[in-house]
């Protein structure tokens, strides 16, 4: 195993982790603020990829798609939240899991009906073809772009959360929903906004990952478990935790594939199970311990 | 030997001491009330006795056994029942099922796979008797969650009674009730046989006076005074802390304040 | 008691009666393929009984139920391939292996609550799936294990029971199901069953009544897993083939949909849901490959507006309900 091979896998893991990070951030805030375990989140990621595939195929504009596809998913997320999700606020969290699970099933089947079961192609912009010199190895330009874009967006999200009024409201809401309500802020609008934003983050991840992984109807289901793991490991409700969790999972998966091919994922799952049993609040202590 | 004994019990949450070096003894058959303003540590005390919280230091003995580190369900099995200030019943089960759960929790009518028809009938019979005493017979088949507040409070106490316990901890049994409803609860509690010891937290002084033969006054995690209701009423330290000299101001302090 | 028979009793009697004579109609009244479908539905019923005991009666929704189903299937398959082609042994091995796994997973998972519990069972399920998927030679990897054959049993004086005969297979499933159903009814009706309701409704109060809630949950988990494993073992023999998909959490998801559609917490409800879903799946898959979307939508409707499911509506129609 050469240093180049390890480095390449590390970067691959980082890339996948970066994608996962965008998904996990949305997932964790949605849970932290609204107590919703959003099983449909993987479907948002999938729809982002599918919208992008269609848009790029029609228009050939990747960068425009990177903006339009998430917007489309955002609209869908808006409708979802207003029509379905909000009916279960304050009720048994179990019902929310059940509901979002149902939504995930419907969306997955719906996508297969509309687009067919075959893999869709999503081509990256030709400008990003080829590879560049990175840390002494040749690494695909597109992947580097993904890294830059993902971290950039994550950084922007972090900025919004920590430096703006809206971010303050969201963070306070995660901390104490009723207090925000008492301050006269329409909590329901915040919920909708957060759900839409989270869905859009997942959609962006879907667009970015499209050229790297196959765009097919099961991609939502395939990613949702990893997303939950990232969120749990980091701590449900903490964005920083989600980021760290996602990167850890990504790197662990790909480096693990080098060391114990085939069983890497299984080993990760066992490790996560142990963490969940010993430290249910996650490595960085989420808002809620096992309740 | 006292039925319940607390020795040097302390509970700290970080820098905050909810309960400080508390010694308390409850004799069998006693009707013992604990009063004190909010934050005095009364609920923490109940939580520690029933195993919900572990004392930071100190020991708790029940029927001679050290229950300080015992799991809540094991403490309950020893005959220590509790009712809750915020009604804690089984809302989606019928009133009768609620009570049956309490009855079959304890030997000899244990929950059992092999509960034969006779023991099931036996449990049902006991349930109906208890419901009579609780004045809830008419609601036997109703879902507990649909009951009125007063009925739910009675069921709340009924669940504790169903265990056929040796000691019942009653956490503000009349909480949130009108005068008339409170009287009903007091009547109910008065009818509890002497073999069952009662330890209750109460804010309503009338209830305390009517029901208890001993009172412990708590203040900021410590015992301020202890004695019969009249003794405590007249205790100047207690008067100063709670009654503002309004009640019991007729005669001056006759007892030395006990700490 | 001279009361009218309860609706449930009627349903039970009618169903068993119809099923008892169903094989007679095979090839005469309907295509024999439907007998095969019926067998598969009945085997799935056994798994659903276990799922409802845990989810409906105890209030614990596990995404790992499929894992136990698949484990039972693989346990039976491996026994048939490497140990002996005796069906009873394979069934026993599959079931026992699953019970043991359920005991371990249950002990570990019960320490968590609510949402964390569901996610932990999901993690365990994924672990199980990965192990089997990447099990190479031992588990057949992503291709699974096929050609599982069983030796016929000779009954002196009565002939031979050839398990691969569709009619024999059907009656095997039916007998297994009836035993499972009677067992499940007995469990939920027993003293233990009432403690499940207590744990589901208010586990805090149950603790302070003296119930060892953790132990009750563990027992329910093991019971549930055992039912699933038994069903899985039967499935392996019936299909003569096992694949990693049998362990995938999305199969657990189908159990959830079947259970909630039919009526969670009634034992009968999930059976109805399962039968309806599997029956229409066969019907609809030729017309609409993604028939699941219809059930997904129905399921969402049920979760939001009719959580008592189909059977709940039959038993307590909105105009009769006192709640």
Please give, one letter per residue, the 3-state secondary structure of chain B.
CCCEEEEEEEEEECCEEEEEEEEEEECCCCEEEEECCCCCCHHHHHHHHHCCCCCCEEEEEECCEECCCCCHHHHHHCCEEEECCCCCCCCCCEHHHHHHHHHCCCCCCCCCCCCCHHHHHHHHHHHHHHHHHCCCHHHCCCEHHHCCHHHHHHHHHHHHHHCCCCEEEEECCCCCCCHHHHHHHHHHHHCCCCCCEEEEECCCHHHHHHHCCEEEEEECCEEEEEECHHHHHHCHHHHHHHHCCCCCCCCCCCCCCCC
> Do the domain assignments include residue A287?
no
The conformation of residue C316, written as its DSSP 8-state character, comes to S
Predicted pLDDT at B245: 43
> Do the domain assignments include residue A130?
no
- Residue from the list C190, C201, C208 with its beta carbon closest to the beta carbon of B82: C208
| Torsion angle, alpha carbons of B149, B150, B151, B157, to 10 | 110
Expressed as residue numbers, the domain containing C161 is: 7-245
pLDDT in tens, chain B (259 residues): 789 999 999 998 888 888 888 899 999 999 999 988 877 788 889 999 999 999 999 999 999 999 999 999 999 999 999 999 999 999 999 999 999 999 988 765 554 455 555 577 888 888 999 999 998 998 899 999 999 999 999 999 999 999 989 999 999 998 888 888 888 899 999 999 988 999 999 888 888 888 899 999 888 888 888 888 888 888 888 777 765 544 433 333 344 444 3
**What distance in Å separates the CA atoms of residue C9 and residue C13, rounded to the nearest whole number?**
6
> Do the domain assignments include residue A230?
yes
Predicted pLDDT at C7: 83
The conformation of residue C6, written as its DSSP 8-state character, comes to P
Residue ending a domain, choose from B107, B131, B164: B164
d(CA B1, nearest CA chain C) in Å: 25
> Parallel, antiparallel, or unpaired for β B31-35 and B197-201?
parallel
Backbone dihedral angles phi then psi of residue C11, each to the nearest 5 degrees: -60, -45
Q: Which residue of A has its CA nearest to C121?
A: A273
The residues, ordered by sequence, that sit 6+ positions from C170 with a Cβ below 8 Å of its Cβ are C22, C23, C35, C38, C39, C42
The answer to whether C280 contacts chain A (CB < 8 Å) is: no
> Do the domain assignments include residue C114?
yes
| Chain A residues whose beta carbon lies within 8 Å of the beta carbon of residue C136 | 262
The answer to whether C104 contacts chain A (CB < 8 Å) is: no
| Chain A residues whose beta carbon lies within 8 Å of the beta carbon of residue C260 | 98
**What distance in Å separates the CA atoms of residue C305 and residue C316, rounded to the nearest whole number?**
14
Backbone dihedral angles phi then psi of residue B214, each to the nearest 5 degrees: -135, 145
Q: Spell A19-35 as b/e; 16+ CB within 10 A means b.
A: bbbbbbbbbbbbbbbbb
Q: Scan for tokens 């765009």, then name that residue.
A: A215
| Chain C residues whose beta carbon lies within 8 Å of the beta carbon of residue A105 | 253, 257, 292-293, 296, 299
Alpha-helical segments (H) within chain A: 3-34, 41-59, 62-83, 93-115, 141-163, 165-175, 177-182, 187-209, 219-234, 239-259, 264-278
The answer to whether A289 and A280 are in contact (CB under 8 A) is yes
- Residue from the list C195, C197, C204 with its beta carbon closest to the beta carbon of B88: C204
Angle (CA) C110-C115-C117 rounded to 5° is 20
The answer to whether C239 and C166 are in contact (CB under 8 A) is no
With touching defined as 3+ CB pairs under 8 A, do chains C and B touch?
Answer: yes
| Chain A residues whose beta carbon lies within 8 Å of the beta carbon of residue C116 | 232, 276, 280, 290
| pLDDT 10s digits, A173-191 | 777 777 777 777 788 888 8
| pLDDT 10s digits, A90-122 | 777 788 889 999 999 999 999 999 998 888 888
The answer to whether C125 and C252 are in contact (CB under 8 A) is yes
Q: What are chain A's partners, defined as 3 or more CB pairs within 8 angstroms?
A: C
| Chain B residues whose beta carbon lies within 8 Å of the beta carbon of residue C208 | 50, 72-73, 76, 81-82, 88
**What distance in Å separates the CA atoms of residue B139 and residue B210, rounded to the nearest whole number?**
29
Residue ending a domain, choose from B164, B192, B208: B164
**What distance in Å separates the CA atoms of residue A28 and residue B162, rounded to the nearest whole number?**
44
> Do the domain assignments include residue C250?
no
The answer to whether A249 contacts chain C (CB < 8 Å) is: no
Predicted pLDDT at B168: 95
The conformation of residue A87, written as its DSSP 8-state character, comes to G
Cβ contact, residue pair A112, C114, below 8 Å: no
Backbone dihedral angles phi then psi of residue B81, each to the nearest 5 degrees: -105, 165
d(CA C149, nearest CA chain B) in Å: 38
Expressed as residue numbers, the domain containing A105 is: 3-117+136-278
Predicted pLDDT at B6: 92
Q: Scan for tokens 């007995």, then name that residue.
A: C186
Q: Domain of B14: which CATH number?
A: 3.40.50.300
Q: How many residues does chain B have?
A: 259
> Do the domain assignments include residue A50?
yes
The residues, ordered by sequence, that sit 6+ positions from C156 with a Cβ below 8 Å of its Cβ are none
- Rg, chain B, Cα only: 19
**What distance in Å separates the CA atoms of residue C211 and residue C191, rounded to the nearest whole number?**
12
| Torsion angle, alpha carbons of C80, C83, C87, C89, to 10 | -140
DSSP string, C92-149: HHHHHHHHHHHHHHHHHHTTS-HHHHHHHHHHHHHHHHHHHHT-HHHH-GGG-EE---
| Chain C residues whose beta carbon lies within 8 Å of the beta carbon of residue B163 | 209-210
- Residue from the list A97, A105, A266 with its beta carbon closest to the beta carbon of C130: A266
> Do the domain assignments include residue C129?
yes
> Do the domain assignments include residue B209?
yes
The conformation of residue C246, written as its DSSP 8-state character, comes to G
Cβ contact, residue pair A272, C250, below 8 Å: no
- Residue from the list A95, A262, A277 with its beta carbon closest to the beta carbon of C303: A95
**What distance in Å separates the CA atoms of residue C229 and residue C90, rounded to the nearest whole number?**
11
The answer to whether A272 contacts chain C (CB < 8 Å) is: yes
> Do the domain assignments include residue B85?
no
Backbone dihedral angles phi then psi of residue B235, each to the nearest 5 degrees: -65, 120
Chain B interface mutation, best of C209, C217, C222, C321, highest count of B Cβ atoms under 10 Å: C209
Shared domain check, B211 and B233? yes
**What distance in Å separates the CA atoms of residue B193 and residue C317, rounded to the nearest whole number?**
45
CA distance to A156, C266, C311, C315, per residue, from C319 (Å): 54, 20, 15, 11
Q: Domain of A142: which CATH number?
A: 1.10.3470
Interface of A with C in 102-131 (CB under 8 A): 102-103, 105-106, 109-110, 112-113, 117
Cβ contact, residue pair B76, C194, below 8 Å: no
| Chain C residues whose beta carbon lies within 8 Å of the beta carbon of residue B93 | 197-198, 201
Backbone dihedral angles phi then psi of residue B236, each to the nearest 5 degrees: -65, -35
The answer to whether B115 and C191 are in contact (CB under 8 A) is yes
> Do the domain assignments include residue C93?
yes
The answer to whether A95 contacts chain C (CB < 8 Å) is: yes
The residues, ordered by sequence, that sit 6+ positions from C19 with a Cβ below 8 Å of its Cβ are C38, C42, C174
Total number of domains constituting chain A: 1
Predicted pLDDT at A290: 32
Residue ending a domain, choose from B164, B180, B212: B164
> Do the domain assignments include residue C40?
yes
Q: Which two tokens stand for residue C315?
A: 């038993």
> Do the domain assignments include residue C56?
yes
> Do the domain assignments include residue B141?
yes
Cβ contact, residue pair A225, C126, below 8 Å: yes
Q: Per DSSP, what are the bridge partners of residue B26?
A: B4
Single pTM value for the model: 0.90
d(CA C2, nearest CA chain A) in Å: 40
| Chain A residues whose beta carbon lies within 8 Å of the beta carbon of residue C111 | 277, 290
Chain C interface mutation, best of B62, B73, B108, highest count of C Cβ atoms under 10 Å: B73
Give the 3-state secondary structure percentages of chain C, helix then strand then coil, rounded to 5.
Answer: 75, 5, 20
**What distance in Å separates the CA atoms of residue B212 and residue B204, rounded to the nearest whole number?**
12
Cβ contact, residue pair C212, B97, below 8 Å: no
Predicted pLDDT at B118: 59
**CA nearest neighbour of A69 among A49, A91, A96:** A49
Interface of B with C in 59-118 (CB under 8 A): 71-74, 76-77, 81-82, 84, 88-93, 97, 100-102, 104-106, 110-113, 115
Size of interface A-C (CB pairs under 8 A): 107
Shared domain check, B75 and B2? yes
Cβ contact, residue pair C300, A290, below 8 Å: no
| pLDDT 10s digits, C278-320 | 998 888 877 778 888 999 999 999 999 888 898 988 877 766 5
Total number of domains constituting chain C: 1
Q: Per DSSP, what are the bridge partners of residue B31?
A: B198
Q: Per DSSP, what are the bridge partners of residue C242?
A: C145
> Which residues of C sit within 8 Å Cβ distance of B?
190-192, 194-195, 197-198, 201-202, 204-213, 323
| Chain B residues whose beta carbon lies within 8 Å of the beta carbon of residue C212 | 71, 73
The residues, ordered by sequence, that sit 6+ positions from C70 with a Cβ below 8 Å of its Cβ are C128, C129, C132, C232, C242, C244, C246, C247, C248, C251
Cβ contact, residue pair B92, C212, below 8 Å: no
d(CA A212, nearest CA chain C) in Å: 22
Asked, as a colleague might, if the bond just before B108 is cis with ω within 30 of 0, I would say yes
**CA nearest neighbour of A46 among A116, A139, A111:** A111
With touching defined as 3+ CB pairs under 8 A, do chains A and B touch?
Answer: no
Map residue C153 onto helix, strand or coil. strand
pLDDT beneath 50, residues of chain C = 1-2, 321-323
Q: Which two tokens stand for residue A264?
A: 């890497």
Q: Around A122, how many Cα atoms within 13 Å sit in the side-chain half-sphere?
A: 28
> Do the domain assignments include residue C258?
no
DSSP string, A120-145: BP-PPPGGG-SEEEETTEEEEHHHHH
For residue C65, how many other CB atoms are within 10 A of its CB? Answer: 31
Q: What are chain B's partners, defined as 3 or more CB pairs within 8 angstroms?
A: C
| Chain B residues whose beta carbon lies within 8 Å of the beta carbon of residue C209 | 73, 76, 81, 101-102, 105, 159, 162-163
> Do the domain assignments include residue A98?
yes
Q: Which residue of B has its CA nearest to C189?
A: B113
For residue A4, how many other CB atoms are within 10 A of its CB? Answer: 12
> Do the domain assignments include residue C287?
no
Shared domain check, B75 and B98? no
Cβ contact, residue pair B106, C210, below 8 Å: yes
Full 3-state SS string of C41-89: HHHHHHHHHHHHHHHHHCCCCCCCHHHHHHHHHHHHHHHHHHCCCCHHH
The residues, ordered by sequence, that sit 6+ positions from B198 with a Cβ below 8 Å of its Cβ are B30, B31, B32, B167, B168, B170, B189, B192, B211, B212
pLDDT beneath 70, residues of chain A = 1, 284-291
CA distance to A85, A93, A276, C183, per residue, from C24 (Å): 49, 48, 53, 28
Interface of A with C in 225-244 (CB under 8 A): 225, 228-229, 232, 236
**What distance in Å separates the CA atoms of residue C109 and residue B194, rounded to the nearest whole number?**
44
- Residue from the list B90, B110, B146 with its beta carbon closest to the beta carbon of C202: B90
Cβ contact, residue pair C114, A262, below 8 Å: no
> What ipTM describes this predicted complex?
0.90
The answer to whether B212 contacts chain C (CB < 8 Å) is: no
Expressed as residue numbers, the domain containing B154 is: 90-164
The answer to whether A148 contacts chain C (CB < 8 Å) is: no
Total number of domains constituting chain B: 2
For residue B73, how many other CB atoms are within 10 A of its CB? Answer: 20
Cβ contact, residue pair A277, C112, below 8 Å: yes
> Do the domain assignments include residue B84?
no
């Amino acid at each position: 195993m050469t240093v180049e091979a390890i480095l390449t896998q590390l970067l691959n893991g980082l890339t996948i982790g970066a994608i996962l990070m965008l998904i996990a951030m949305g997932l964790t805030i949605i849970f932290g603020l609204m107590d919703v375990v959003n099983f449909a989140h993987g479907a948002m990621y999938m729809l982002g990829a599918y919208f992008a595939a269609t848009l790029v195929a029609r228009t050939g504009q990747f960068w425009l798609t990177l903006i339009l596809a998430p917007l489309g998913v955002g609209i869908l997320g808006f409708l979802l939240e207003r029509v379905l999700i909000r009916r279960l606020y304050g009720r048994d969290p179990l019902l929310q899991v059940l509901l979002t699970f149902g939504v995930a099933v419907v969306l997955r089947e719906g996508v297969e009906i509309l687009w067919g079961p075959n893999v869709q192609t999503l081509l990256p912009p030709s400008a990003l073809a080829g590879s560049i010199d990175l840390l002494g190895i040749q690494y695909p330009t597109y992947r580097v772009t993904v890294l830059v874009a993902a971290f950039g967006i994550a950084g922007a999200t972090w900025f919004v959360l920590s430096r703006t009024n809206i971010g303050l409201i969201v963070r306070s809401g995660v901390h104490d929903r009723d207090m925000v309500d008492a301050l006269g802020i329409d909590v329901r609008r915040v919920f909708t906004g957060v759900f839409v934003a989270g869905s859009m983050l997942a959609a962006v991840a879907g667009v970015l990952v499209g050229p790297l992984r196959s765009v097919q109807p099961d991609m939502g289901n395939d990613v949702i478990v990893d997303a939950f793991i990232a969120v749990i490991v980091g701590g449900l409700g903490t964005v920083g935790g989600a980021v760290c969790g996602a990167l850890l999972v990504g790197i662990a998966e790909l480096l693990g594939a080098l060391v114990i091919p085939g069983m890497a994922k299984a080993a990760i799952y066992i490790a996560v199970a142990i963490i969940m049993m010993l430290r249910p609040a996650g490595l960085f202590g989420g808002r809620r311990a096992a309740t | 030997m006292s039925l319940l004994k607390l020795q040097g019990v302390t509970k700290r949450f970080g820098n905050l001491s909810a309960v400080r070096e508390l010694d308390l003894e409850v004799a069998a058959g006693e009707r013992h009330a604990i009063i004190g303003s909010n934050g005095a540590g009364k609920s923490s005390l109940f939580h520690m006795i029933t195993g919900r919280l572990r004392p930071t230091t100190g020991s708790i003995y029940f029927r001679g056994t050290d229950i300080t580190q015992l799991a809540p369900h094991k403490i309950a099995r020893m005959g220590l029942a509790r009712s809750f200030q915020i009604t804690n019943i089984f809302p989606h089960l019928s009133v009768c099922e609620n009570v049956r759960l309490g009855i079959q929790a304890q030997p000899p009518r244990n929950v059992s796979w092999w509960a034969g028809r006779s023991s099931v009938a036996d449990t049902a019979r006991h349930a109906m008797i208890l419901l009579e005493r609780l004045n809830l017979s008419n609601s036997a088949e109703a879902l507990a969650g649909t009951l009125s507040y007063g009925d739910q409070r009675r069921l709340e106490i009924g669940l504790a009674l169903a265990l056929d316990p040796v000691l019942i901890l009653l956490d503000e049994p009349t909480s949130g009730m009108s005068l008339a409803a409170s009287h009903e609860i007091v009547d109910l509690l008065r009818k509890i046989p002497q073999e069952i010891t009662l330890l209750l937290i109460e804010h309503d002084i009338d209830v305390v006076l009517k029901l208890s033969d001993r009172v412990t006054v708590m203040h900021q995690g410590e015992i301020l005074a202890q004695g019969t209701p009249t003794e405590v009423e007249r205790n100047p330290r207690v008067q100063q802390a709670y009654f503002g000299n309004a009640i019991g101001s007729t005669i001056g302090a006759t007892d030395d304040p006990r700490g | 008691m001279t009361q009218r028979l309860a609706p449930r009793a009627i349903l039970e009697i009618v169903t068993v009666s119809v099923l008892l004579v169903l094989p007679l109609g095979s090839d005469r009244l309907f295509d024999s393929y439907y007998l095969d479908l019926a067998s598969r539905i009945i085997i799935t019923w056994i798994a659903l009984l276990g799922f409802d005991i845990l989810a409906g009666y105890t209030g614990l929704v596990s995404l790992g139920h499929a894992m136990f189903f698949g484990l039972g299937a693989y346990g039976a398959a491996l026994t048939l391939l490497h140990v002996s082609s005796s069906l009873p042994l394979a069934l026993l091995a599959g079931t026992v292996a699953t019970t043991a796994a359920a005991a371990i997973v249950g002990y570990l998972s019960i320490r968590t609550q609510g949402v964390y519990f569901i996610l932990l069972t999901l993690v365990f399920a994924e672990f199980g799936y990965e192990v089997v998927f990447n099990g190479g030679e031992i588990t057949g990897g992503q291709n699974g294990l096929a050609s599982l054959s069983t030796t016929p049993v000779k009954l002196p004086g009565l002939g031979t029971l050839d398990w691969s005969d569709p009619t024999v297979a059907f009656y095997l499933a039916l007998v297994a199901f009836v035993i499972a159903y009677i067992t499940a009814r007995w469990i939920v009706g027993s003293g233990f069953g009432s403690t499940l309701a207590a744990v589901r409704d208010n586990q805090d109060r149950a603790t302070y009544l003296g119930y060892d809630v953790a132990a009750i949950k563990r027992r329910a988990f093991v019971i549930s897993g055992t039912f699933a494993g038994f069903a899985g073992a039967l499935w392996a023999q019936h299909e003569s083939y096992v694949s990693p998909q049998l362990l995938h959490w999305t199969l657990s998801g189908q159990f959830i949909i079947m259970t909630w559609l039919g009526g969670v917490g009634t034992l009968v409800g999930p059976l109805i849901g399962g039968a309806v879903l599997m029956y229409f799946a066969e019907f609809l898959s030729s017309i609409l490959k993604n028939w699941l979307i219809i059930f997904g939508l129905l399921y969402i409707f049920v979760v939001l507006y009719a959580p008592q499911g189909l059977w709940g509506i039959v038993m307590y129609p909105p105009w009769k309900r006192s709640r």
